[in-house]
Copies of this chain bind each other. A is one copy, B any other.
Amino acid sequence: MTDQTFGATGAFPEALAQAAGLTDELLGKLLAVPPGPEARVVAAMRYSALAPGKRLRPFLVLASAQLFAVAQRSALQVAAAIEMVHAYSLIHDDLPAMDDSDLRRGRPTCHKQFDEATAVLAGDGLLTYAFEVLAHPDTHGDPMVRCELVTALAQAAGTQGMVGGQMIDLLAESDRSLDIGAITRLQRLKTGALIAFSCEAGAILGKAAPELRAALRGYAHDLGLAFQIADDLLDVEGSAAETGKPIGGDAAAGKATFVSILGVERARSQAKVLVQQAVAHLDLFEKKAELLRQAAQFVVNRRA
């Protein structure tokens, strides 16, 4: 995989597969299992970070970095770091004290495959390692850029991002009274912030002008919400075989979702509107942003 140039064919499905292959290759190297008894926690980190998945976030990093002619090696470091943070969030979310899930991406969750204590530590280890990867000189020659990446990832993953969103989500369990504004904010923090960082990372790496960075943020914001609505629709309409997790879980848990509030039809049309909005933010980039446009269509049309 090493010599592949991401997005060379201009077709989204191939670019997504390339992003996955290249990122997994790097993750495999970064998460080499060491000798000694601590091998167990690294094996658990590896199990979860390399679990089957679309690798949408790594794709977004590579595609946005390409807009600014960033070296692929730099973008891949960030892609690997984001995938580590994504994997950590899934490990902790799946814990018995949280969503208590046994199945993830079609395989036993980390605490089922290993044990609960190892899963807590594996999540901690992945989160920690992500920052080490971002701060490494391989990520960018300019330490100011590396600091900006650390700051932006910490904000996306912290209490004003993923951790905050997960807290709100836990408090909202079984709360059907959430309105659309509250759900939107919840999802913007819980899943949107990391997706937004994936797109902004390309602009940070490329030292892009503020208006270009803002355009990517706008794209990512709309894309993130469309992604979540599609996820809610899949929870209702998908099959367990396709999504790799039990279907109807949110509805059974009595959770308010975009679909429970808007209904299937309005949710679907809302997702389409969001995709149009997302794509409109890319006008500034003209033809160069074709992959990101295709990604937006994919997000609402995906079956898993």
Interface residues in chain A, defined as those with a beta carbon under 8 Å from any beta carbon in chain B: 34, 36-38, 40-42, 45, 88, 92, 95-98, 115-118, 120-121, 123-125, 127-129, 131-132, 134-136, 142-144, 146-147, 150-151, 153-155, 157-160, 163-168, 170-172, 185, 189
Contacts and interface: CB of A to CB of B under 8 A. Distances in A.
Contact of A38 (B128, B135, B157, B164): B164
B98 A128 contact: no
A118 B170 contact: yes
Contacts of A125: 158-159, 163-164
A38 B159 contact: yes
5 contacts: A34-B159, A40-B171, A131-B153, A143-B144, A143-B146
A131 B146 contact: no
A212 to B, nearest CB: 22
B163 A121 contact: yes
Given A41-B163, A129-B159, A147-B146, A95 B118 contact: no
A45 B92 CA distance: 17
Contacts of A168: 36-38
A95 B120 contact: yes
Chain A contact residues: helix, strand, loop or mixed: helix
Contacts of A45: 159
Contacts of A129: 154, 158-159
Contacts of A118: 167, 170
Contacts of A151: 132, 135-136
A87 to B, nearest CB: 13
Pairs A-B, 5 closest by C-beta atoms? A132-B154, A38-B164, A97-B116, A135-B150, A41-B167
Contacts of A38: 159-160, 163-165, 167-168, 189
Nearest to A161: B128
A133 to B, nearest CB: 9
A58 to B, nearest CB: 20
Contacts of A40: 167, 171
B135 A147 contact: yes
B120 A171 contact: no
A179 to B, nearest CB: 13
